[in-house]
Amino acid sequence: MSDAPETYTVEDDLHPTVLVMHASVGSGHRSAARSVQRAFEKLIAEGELPKDVRIEFLDILELGRIKFDGNNTASLFIGPTRPIYDLTWRYTFTGRLLWGGGTVWGRLMFPGLTEHVRKVKPIAVVATHITAANAAVSARMITGQDFPIISVPTDYETEGLWPHMATDLFCLATESMAETLRARKVSEERMMVTGIPVREGFARAGEAAADRAEWGLPEDKRVVLVLAGATIPKPYQHFRSIMDQALPFMHRLSHTHFVFIAGKDAEYKAHLEAEIAALGLDCITVLDYVDDMAGLMSACDLAICKSGGLVVTECVCARLPMVLLGRAYGQERVNVRMLTAAGAAMHATTAPELVSALEHLESNPQAAEALLINGSFLRRPNAATDIARAAYKLSQVPYVATDKRRKKHFVRFYWGHKPAHVR
C-alpha cells in the first residue's frame, strides 16, 4: 500500500469518513497510523463497522502552508544539538502552565487541512502526532463542525504540546501516562490505556524453528537481532558506531548468532559485510530491508535496538527481549527509563557495556526470560483494533452544545495540577 495521501472526490460526500493522520517525522508515527487504518479496514470488511465508512490516511505535512521534509527537519536535532532537543522536550509545557489547543495552527500553518475538513466533514479524526492533532483541533474550531479527535502518542510519555483540553480521547501506552494527564486535568472518561498500535503480524504466535528455517538461521544457537536499519540513517550513526566497536569481540559469544538489519542503506550493508569479512566472523547474517519483520522477530531470542516507541513496542508484542543501545534523549530517554525500571529491557551506552550484557545473557538464559516476563505487562498487540473501535464509538455520540472542548480559541493555555512525573 502506498504512503501517498489518498485524494478526495465529490463522491466521497456519500460516505462517512474517518481521517487517520500522522506527520512524516521518522517512521514511527506513520507506522502507527497505518496500523490504525488497517484495523479500521478489517473491522469494516468483517462487518463490525458499516460498509460505507471510508478511511482516509493523511500526512499533515502534505497539507501545510509551507512544504518541508519532516525527516530532514528531525535530523537537525541529532549529534551536538540533541541535548537542546532533550531540554525542549522535557521542559516545554510539562509544568503547571499547559497548552490547551487553538485555531492558531489552522490559521497560520495548515489552512489546507481546514479546507479539506470543510469538504469531507469527517465523523472522527485519529492523530498519531501532535502536529496532526493540533491541526485537527484548529480545523474543527474554524469550520464549526463536531467530530471527536483521538490522540495517540507513540511513546511512553505524553508531550506537553498535545491539545489536552480539546482531545476527546487519549489512547495511551501505560497507566503511567494516564497519571501524567490527570495532573493536566484530563478526565478519566477521556483516557484509555490501549497500548501503542503496531501491525497485526506482531501479535501472532510464531514457530521459532520454522521461522529460523525460513531465514536460514542456526537452530543450535541464540539468535540476536540487531535493528540497525532505518528510514533516516542519521539518527542511527551513534548506534552503528557502537556496533562497529563491538564487532571484534563477538567471537567471544560462541553460542550466539547475530542478524544485522541494514534496511535500504546499501552503503551501510556493504560496510558491514567488509568489516565482518576482515574480522573473519562467521556468526553474523546481514539482511537489507525486511518486509516480514514480525516473522524474523519470531525467529530470534533477543533484539539490540534503539529506544524508539514503535520499535520497542513491536519487540514487546513479538515477545522479544531487548537491549536498548545508545544514549537516549527526549521521548527516547523516557522510554529507556520506563522499560529498564520495569525490568523489561537492559540498557547499554558503550560497546564494552553491550558485550558485557550479551555475555551475561548468554551465560544466564533465565535473565532474558525475566526480561520477557517483565515486558508482558506492556504487551497489548490489539491496540490498533481497540483504538479503531473506540474512535468509531465516539463518532456515534451525539453532540453536546455546552461542551467546553468545542469553544473556539485562537490560543488557549490553562493551569494544571502539580506534575505527576518529573522528567
Residues paired with 345 in a beta bridge: 322
- Predicted local confidence at residue 5, as pLDDT: 45
Provide the residue-wise pLDDT of the chain in tens; the chain has 423 residues.
Answer: 444 445 444 444 568 999 999 998 878 899 999 999 999 999 999 999 999 999 999 999 999 887 766 556 665 556 677 777 777 777 788 888 899 899 999 999 999 999 999 999 999 999 999 999 999 999 999 999 999 999 999 999 998 999 999 999 999 999 999 999 999 999 999 999 999 999 888 876 667 778 888 888 999 999 999 999 866 667 788 899 999 999 999 999 999 999 999 988 899 999 999 999 999 999 999 999 998 898 899 999 999 999 999 999 999 999 999 999 998 888 889 999 999 999 999 999 999 999 999 999 999 999 999 999 999 999 999 999 999 999 999 999 987 666 666 788 899 999 999 988 766
- Tell me which residue of 407, 406, 412, 414 sits closest to 101, measured CA to CA: 412
Alpha-carbon distances of 56 from 3, 37, 256, rounded to whole Å:
11, 8, 45
List the grid coordinates of 36: 490504525
- Predicted local confidence at residue 14, as pLDDT: 66
Burial of 158 (0-12, 13-18, 19+ CB in 10 A): buried
- Predicted local confidence at residue 9, as pLDDT: 47
Q: Are 67 and 348 in contact (CB under 8 A)?
A: no
- Predicted local confidence at residue 233, as pLDDT: 65
Whose grid coordinates read 522479544? 320
For residue 402, the tally of other CB atoms under 10 A from its CB is: 6
- Predicted local confidence at residue 272, as pLDDT: 95
- Tell me which residue of 374, 390, 373, 394 sits closest to 382, measured CA to CA: 390
- Predicted local confidence at residue 72, as pLDDT: 60
Tell me how far apart the alpha carbons of residues 366 and 383 are, in angstroms, rounded to a whole number: 29
Per 3-state DSSP, the chain is made up of helix, strand and coil in percentages (nearest 5) of 50, 15, 40
φ, ψ of residue 305 in degrees (nearest 5):
-155, 165
What lies within 8 Å, CB to CB, of 352 at 6+ separation is none
- Predicted local confidence at residue 166, as pLDDT: 93
Q: What is the DSSP letter of 329?
A: -
* pTM of the shown model: 0.91
